[in-house]
Amino acid sequence: MKNNTNNNNNSLFSLNGNPSLSTVTPMSLQHLLAMIVGNVLPALVLSGAIGLNPEQRILLVQASMFIAAVGTFLQSTPIFGVGARLPVIMGVSFAYIPTILAIGGQYGIGAVLGAQVVGGVTAFIVGIFIEKIRKFFPPMVAGTVVFTIGLSLYRVAVNYMAGGFQPTDPRYGGLIYWGISILTLVVVLLCNMFGKGYIKLAAILIGIVVGYIASLIANIVTFESITSAAWFSLPSILPYKLEFPIAAAVSMAVMYVVNSVQAVGDLSGTTVGGMDREATDKELSGGIKANGIVSIIGSFIGALPTATYSQNVGIVVMTKVVSLKVFRLTALMILVAGLIPKFGAVMTSIPQAVIGGATISVFAQITMTGMRLIVQDEMSVRNTTIVGLGIALGMGITQIPKEGLQYLPDWFNMVFASSPVVLATVVVFVLNILLPKKSLSQEQAERAAMDKK
């Protein structure tokens, strides 16, 4: 089913619709609200974990906004076949957090950005061949990866709820931090469960605002970075020297392959839910290649890995608003935020307890999304074995003492033992190819044959 291609129509529900600015603006704001918190939180999580200074944290947030604007615009306005020309929002993705935390903790942020270049090239190649390799990533495989991502993030969120461990902070684990984080979580839940319209859509943002106000009252917010930040600044070119540890590059390449398959789901969800048709091979290829190119560009300005945003796909499915004008205006709004360092400074002044209280529900949703993907395939003995082993080995290897892996090479520890996601991905991917396919009916027939003997 093709959309109306008349550029003069003013419909919000046509891909080429040209509605008025007054009609487009609230729709664009809705998408901005849905993505903005998720886009800056990975930068805050990483910077807190590896000890970046306040100025570096602001630059990381600023770069995250800038690259999200570039990616969103490119998806709506393809250049030389790069971009899907679909109503999708791009931004920095939670899915990469376990991997970038592992790389950043061992090698530093320069290695995160260098590995990201390799990942971006990998994604571009996947985009070229997506039609041929898509069959190797059924929902069961992709779902196990997403499920493991969610599980691996719980420790990060709960640590943040306790205040985010800092050796010089005696209040870590205190009632102030726990109280503020739980208050933030309760507000998010209330808005999600009982709110309507923009209240429900902006539940995380409202929770963070309430938590921030409580933090101000508790006097745990510092304003030094805000007062010293400029009002306007362009992203820095090569703010960090790019480094390319092989183990880090392999880890990131695996994550980009997995994320490319997830992008197929987001792009297909957009076309099926918003335009009543399947996504074309050209759209899928262009969308994945765009993520690769945007990630490479992001590496050179200090931005973290990007992906299509599922929450914004949900808005498209719910509203059926697909006019590309809406998404181009959203990209412009994101860009403006990315050019104002004071915006980044405000974001980085949010206490980690507030971030933990706001994000633990997001991580829970990621886990449940993985579970929903897994059960799209039959839960036969074969499939449950593959899923169970992937999760068990992926999560288990990161929970044993370091001495348990001391005789393994450093590259193995970096690729497979520093983050559960990569190992889980490899296990389910390989087992799904090697183990013979058996449906529930075939397994039941085997048991029936054994009973007759």
How many beta carbons lie within 10 A of that of residue 147, not counting itself? 26
Burial of 20: CB neighbours in 10 Å, binned 0-12, 13-18, 19+: exposed
Q: Residue 318 belongs to what domain range?
A: 21-452
Copy the structure tokens of residue 374. Answer: 């897994």
Do 395 and 175 form a contact (C-beta atoms < 8 A)?
Answer: no
DSSP-based three-state secondary structure for 435: coil
Confidence (pLDDT) at 7: 47
Kindly write down the DSSP assignment for every residue of 363-418, as one continuous string: HHHHHHHHHHHHTTS---HHHHHHHHHHHHHHHHHTTS-GGGGTTS-HHHIIIIIS
What value does the CA radius of gyration of the chain take, rounded to a whole number of Å? 22
Q: At a CB cut-off of 8 Å and minimum separation 6, what does 83 contact?
A: 74, 75, 76, 77, 286, 287, 289, 290
> Running DSSP on this structure, what letter comes out for residue 231?
S
Q: Pick the closest to residue 201 from 315, 322, 357, 358 (CA basis).
A: 315
Q: Say what the pTM is.
A: 0.72
Whether the Cβ atoms of residue 75 and residue 290 lie closer than 8 Å to each other: yes
**Nearest CA to 346 among 186, 192, 248, 231?**
231
Cα gap 402→440, rounded to integer Å: 40
Beta bridge partners of residue 395, listed in sequence order? none
> Does residue 343 belong to any structural domain of this protein?
yes
Give me the average pLDDT of each 10-residue run along the chain (453 residues): 54 87 82 77 84 84 92 95 94 85 90 96 94 81 80 81 76 87 92 79 78 89 74 86 92 87 80 82 94 96 90 74 92 89 75 83 77 84 90 87 81 74 85 86 79 72
Domain count, the chain: 1
* Residues 373 and 137: beta-carbon distance below 8 Å: no
Q: Is residue 68 part of a domain?
A: yes
Distant-in-sequence, close-in-space partners of 218: CB < 8 Å, separation ≥ 6: 176, 180
Residue 437 lies in a domain: yes
Q: Is residue 15 part of a domain?
A: no
**Residue type present at position 274:** G
In angstroms, the Cα distances linking 231 to 160, 234, 343, 372 are: 29, 11, 8, 44
Distance of CA 86 to the CA centre of its chain: 19
Let me know if residue 11 belongs to a domain: no
Residue 178 located in a structural domain = yes
